[in-house]
């Protein structure tokens, strides 16, 4: 899937994802149930990958 974003939209989404990633990392740290922790880690990897793509995007 391809998504065309303005610079402002990309900035807002990046900020929101950065915040969500911080919250998610805290959840991973505090979670004791192994299956749930694995699920959270997969989500963390996806968010990290998407954030990397957004941040590597040339400024328009």
* pLDDT single digits (tens) 8-46: 999 999 999 999 999 999 999 999 999 999 999 999 999
Alpha-carbon span 47 to 18, nearest angstrom: 8
Domain ranges across the chain: 7-56
Res. 1: pLDDT tops 90: no
Confidence of residue 58 (pLDDT cuts 50, 70, 90): confident
Contacts of 53 (CB under 8 A, 6+ apart): none
pTM: 0.82
Band (60; pLDDT cuts 50, 70, 90): low
Print burial letters for 15-32: b (CB count within 10 Å at least 16), e (below 16): eebeeebeebeeebeeee
């Amino acid at each position: 899937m391809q998504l065309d974003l303005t610079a402002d939209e990309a900035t807002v989404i990046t900020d929101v994802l950065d915040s969500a990633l911080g919250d998610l990392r805290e959840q991973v740290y505090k979670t004791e149930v192994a299956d749930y922790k694995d699920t959270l880690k997969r989500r963390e990897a996806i968010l990290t990958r998407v954030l990397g793509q957004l941040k590597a995007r040339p400024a328009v």
